[in-house]
């Protein structure tokens, strides 16, 4: 690997993924390359040391280091399983702390993940202690990040009309309703964002739709707009069916909050002035 000459947050953000719940993660084998390791055997030793540090800090190791081995082709029709991990931001921080400090990328990673870990992640306990409006703000930020990634994936999959693409997902999830239909049903004012006017449960439904569509477009290597739109619709519909099977409330039946997130943000800003 050629040594990386310029270190910015972008090198880590470019390999970040978002799961079906809107949570961010990094794949160990992708991080290994960025951190300048050529052999998995050496990098796995770093991971093991990081896992020990995680355990010593009394965190659940599996919450931060999730094993996701996969099969790869080795020629002549043969396959071989290789180890990999889904890593939380905290796991990446611990790996950087246990890496070879002589590597410039390790030193940069230590600073980057140390600063960002507490800024970006909430534990389950912390999330449960949030008010409903705070949960909405947190989920809205996750949906925003997820939609950014989904837009990039959709464009790479041949989508030219992003509005139609997103409407396909909404129609699947909301039993035929487009974004405009949702806007009208919620009686929103001109240019208000429908996602800013959803409760935490409805936002979570949409985060699941967004993440699963992103993953399927990549997994299926979609290369045309028609298929991309169809996939977004089917994923939305499948999320809806899952809610129904679990006895949940359909997203269109969930209450619209009294205040949009934009209003809440303005109020919070005034209080700080």
If asked whether residues 143 and 75 sit together in one domain, one would say no
Q: Which of 90, 105, 121 is the last residue of a domain?
A: 121
Answer whether residue 3 is part of any domain.
no
pTM metric for this prediction:
0.58
- Looking at residue 22, its pLDDT comes to 72
Same structural domain, 149 and 103: no
What is the DSSP-derived secondary structure letter of residue 246?
T
Is residue 254 located within the same domain as residue 142? Answer: yes
pLDDT band at 3 (very low <50, low <70, confident <90, very high): very low
- Domain identity same for 138 and 262: yes
Domain that holds residue 60: 10-121
Whether residues 96 and 73 share a domain: the answer is yes
Summarised one tens digit per residue, pLDDT across range 35-85 is: 989 999 999 999 999 999 888 777 788 889 999 877 667 666 667 778 899
Q: What is the residue-wise DSSP string for 138-201?
A: HHHHHHHHHHHHHHHHHHHTT---HHHHHHHHHHHHTTT--HHHHHHHTTPPTT--GGGG--HH
pLDDT score for 260: 93
pLDDT of 150 above 90:
yes
**Residue 268 forms part of a structural domain:** yes
pLDDT of residue 2: 39
Residue 66 lies in a domain: yes
Q: What is the pLDDT of residues 204-259, one digit of tens each?
A: 999 999 988 988 999 899 999 999 999 999 999 999 999 998 899 999 999 999 99
Summarize pLDDT for 199-214 with one digit per residue, the tens.
Answer: 999 999 999 999 889 8
Domain assignment present for residue 117? The answer is yes
Q: Does 113 share its domain with 168?
A: no
**Which domain-ending residue is among 80, 98, 121?**
121
Q: Which of 121, 152, 181 is the last residue of a domain?
A: 121
Q: What is the number of domains present in the chain?
A: 2
Q: Tokens 């970040």, residue?
A: 16
């Amino acid at each position: 690997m050629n040594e990386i000459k310029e270190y910015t947050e972008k090198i880590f953000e470019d390999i970040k993924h978002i799961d079906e719940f809107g949570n961010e993660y990094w794949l160990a084998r992708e991080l290994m390359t960025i951190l300048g390791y050529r052999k998995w055997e050496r990098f796995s030793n770093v991971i093991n040391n990081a896992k020990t540090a995680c355990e010593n800090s009394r965190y659940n190791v599996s919450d931060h280091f999730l094993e996701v081995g996969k099969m790869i082709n080795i020629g002549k029709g043969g396959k071989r399983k290789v180890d990999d991990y889904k890593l939380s931001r905290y796991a990446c921080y611990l790996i950087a702390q246990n890496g070879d400090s002589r590597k410039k990328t390790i030193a940069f990673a230590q600073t980057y993940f140390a600063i960002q870990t507490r800024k970006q992640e909430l534990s389950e306990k912390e999330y449960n202690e949030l008010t409903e409006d705070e949960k909405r703000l947190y989920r809205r930020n996750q949906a925003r990040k997820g939609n950014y990634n989904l837009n990039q994936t959709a464009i790479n999959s041949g989508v030219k009309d992003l509005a139609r693409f997103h409407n396909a997902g909404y129609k699947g999830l909301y039993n035929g309703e487009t974004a405009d239909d949702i806007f009208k049903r919620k009686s929103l004012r001109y240019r208000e964002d429908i996602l800013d006017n959803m409760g935490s449960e409805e936002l979570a439904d949409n985060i699941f739709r967004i993440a699963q569509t992103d993953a399927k477009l990549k997994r299926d290597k979609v290369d045309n707009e028609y298929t991309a739109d169809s996939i977004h619709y089917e994923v939305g519909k499948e999320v809806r069916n899952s809610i129904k099977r679990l006895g949940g409330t359909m997203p269109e039946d969930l209450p619209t909050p009294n205040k949009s997130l934009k209003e809440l943000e303005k109020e919070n800003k005034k209080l700080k002035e």
